[in-house]
Structure 1
């Protein structure tokens, strides 16, 4: 019936059952999408954390080296300067003036070093022949007139390289220094340039040469530099054999004596004396001393001794130093083979000791204070057993040892748990 309150009302569009179901499905789809997003983000996080480079392991030094107990007191000369070293260990000490000073005929050690570098000789080899010229004779006569240290020569005389070096080092002949310089380099100035280049190459920062003989006081050095020069020179067997000779016989000059009167006394086996009014008495020396560890070379230099007779003063000062040092030398183990010197650490807790596979044993003395340093190598997140992880640097008295530092055992990389919990 029209107009009846009971009449059926027409339903509005979209208000049926299907629309109610749709309204319930929308939140579910949004929730599902959110879950999917979370899963995708989580998987992406896993991929990023799993694929990104892991932190590196790091090695550090944990060991130290102890000072040798006791105190060393040596009778250093009261004038000039001096230095003393044990070959293979380093400097025992330096005393007095460390300013560059004239060295007189000790310069001839560098002259011999350069000649032997340019014209090397084997044991027993005489080397090339050097013919004495009229110019050489005229120079010899001039040197005699000015009372220099000389070796008698004659025009046409033939000296082997070894004989010329003997004339240079044993009677300390200034004229032979110039003969060798011209023979080697063509001119004295060119040879002096070689001497200074060699000094620079050896790290002799306070040494400068202006002549091959040392007569000019502009040729200067320090005791420490000369000790280094002495070590280099004595490493050449030909040089070492010559300076150990108390005398030698040469074609024209005959038998000539060595000015090193300490030879064959107190273990001295060379190297070179020098003296003049500017330099005073000077002595660069090598002495062999017996220690509990065996026979060791003590190399030293004494400069600027002014008490007459000046050469004797230099020799006596050297003898006193060697005699005082001799009973103080002892065998010292600074590092042992297989010793743990450090550790490898990682952020995720893996670790390994760091060891060295070689030791360092030296001849030391009271008060010797070694220093230990570490130079790490770049490492990844994992380390193999036996892998080199750096270099242990041991410094003692100016001498340096460089030892490979090794991982004692393998160090694994980080696990998944570490990767997931560490951004």
Structure 2
């Protein structure tokens, strides 16, 4: 039988339990060591758990950022506009008449191209018959290509014929018992400037000269003719007056009426039972002249004229008047010279060609594209009128090649043309990696750019 000393047994028990017997001499040092180890373990747990919390927080915040970055709108690319500079030619030199009052305009162009005493009221003579024709057709409209109602002529109309001859007025033949359509009657009035037909037609339309004049004056006021006076339907009275500026407007109204425009452009017609009658406008058919009306007083020759001139692929209608020429030969020479100098003053200006870059784009992620003109911009211009280009291009985010992104407006006076702008390349989404790597760019403000 083995026996142990009591002290050994105590040591063995302490070893098994992990406890050490107190050492009276060093017990405080052991306790301090155990406390230090406990603090160290506690700090390590704090560090570990703090690190785990940080990683978890980063994972959570990273997920939120990634979600925001991937779902945020990309910044818009703003256009850098490169509009062409204004274009202007030298002023057209004109051969102006050295006498009378005159004005020249063009249909579709603002203002007058040339003037001389444009606001002076002068006798209009047989140009008055244009007012008569427009007022009658306003009361009795006739469609283009039709003859209108019939007018029966009687002995009273024959008496008017002889009365006009006695007053040294221009006439057209008439016979009692004949019937002419309204258009044929207007041809007899306008082509040879038949004073007798001016009276016969207006009496037929309104019942009397007084009733006609009342209607004609209302018509003039309604159309803004503040400086035009009418005293009879034929123009025989010198109290029929107007200004060159207002007569240009009257000429434009005459050309807007298809019946009047067709008649004044006719060289000659054959009237039933009356035979051929010729146009008194001897410039008709030359230099593009296609109207409008002569007028003659004892002291002066007048002409309200129109002419079509071709400029590139377009046609320009010039309308003008010359009042107070000493005779018709001088009148025709002056008008011919004026037209010869006015016509070359119209120019077709190409502001830019098809495919011209008018704006460019550069995205923060490195893509570039241009806004190109989808077609050439050409504009008909008079003389030194400047041609200006304004570009309106939109900001874009993503867009396919060929997308319309704005327009360019070309302006010369009151005339303008608008050309769409199209992208010459696609602008695509930059993708997730650029979004995640450029957080600041996703919130970048959009600002317009100009050259």
Task: Give the TM-score, by structure 1 length.
Answer: 0.65
Structure 2 segments unaligned to the other structure (5+ residues): 1-23, 445-451
> 2: CA distance between counterparts of 1:95 and 1:83?
6
Question: Is 2:73 the partner of 1:73?
Answer: no
1:373 corresponding residue in structure 2: 389
Q: CA deviation at 1:190?
A: 5.6
What residue is the counterpart of 1:343 in the other structure?
359
Deviation of 1:76 (Å): 0.8
Unpaired runs of at least 5, structure 1:
201-205
Q: Report how many residues are paired.
A: 395
Counterpart selection for 1:99 from 119, 136, 151: 119
The 5 A counterparts of 1:75-224 are 75-78=95-98, 79-83=100-104, 85=106, 93-99=113-119, 101=121, 104=124, 105-106=126-127, 108-109=129-130, 112=133, 115=137, 119-123=141-145, 125-130=146-151, 158-170=179-191, 171=193, 173=195, 174-175=198-199, 178-179=202-203, 182=206, 199=223, 213=233, 220=243, 222=245
Of the three residues 338, 350, 361, the one matched with 1:321 is: 338
Question: Cα 1:268–1:28, aligned 2, differ >3 Å: closer, same or farther?
Answer: closer
Is the contact between residue 182 and residue 191 of structure 1 (CA under 8 Å) also seen in structure 2?
A: no
Q: Deviations over 1:373-414 (max 9, x none)?
A: 235365643444444444444445x57352423325234155
Which is higher, the Rg of structure 1 or of structure 2?
2
Deviation at 1:175, TM superposition (A): 2.5
C-alpha contact 1:57 1:380 (8 A) present in aligned 2: yes
| 1:262 aligned counterpart, secondary structure | coil
Coordinate RMSD, CA, aligned: 5.5
Q: Of 404, 407, 418, which aligns to 2:419?
A: 404
* Deviation digits for residues 119-155 of structure 1 (CA, Å, limit 9, x no counterpart): 35344x3233245699999999998998877768789
Q: Structure 1 residue 318: deviation in Å?
A: 0.9
Cα 1:28–1:345 shift into 2, 3 Å: closer
Q: Does 1:352 align with 2:370?
A: yes
C-alpha distance in 2, partners of 1:71/1:347?
Answer: 45
- SS of the equivalent of 2:76 reads coil
Asked if structure 1 preserves the Cα contact closer than 8 Å seen for 2:295 and 2:303, the reply is: yes
Structure 1's 294 and 405: CA in aligned 2 closer, same or farther, altered over 3 A? closer
Contact 2:377 2:419 in 1 (8 A): no
| Structure 1 range deviating more: 249-258 or 383-392 | 249-258
Structure-2 change in CA distance of 1:37 and 1:193 (3 Å): farther
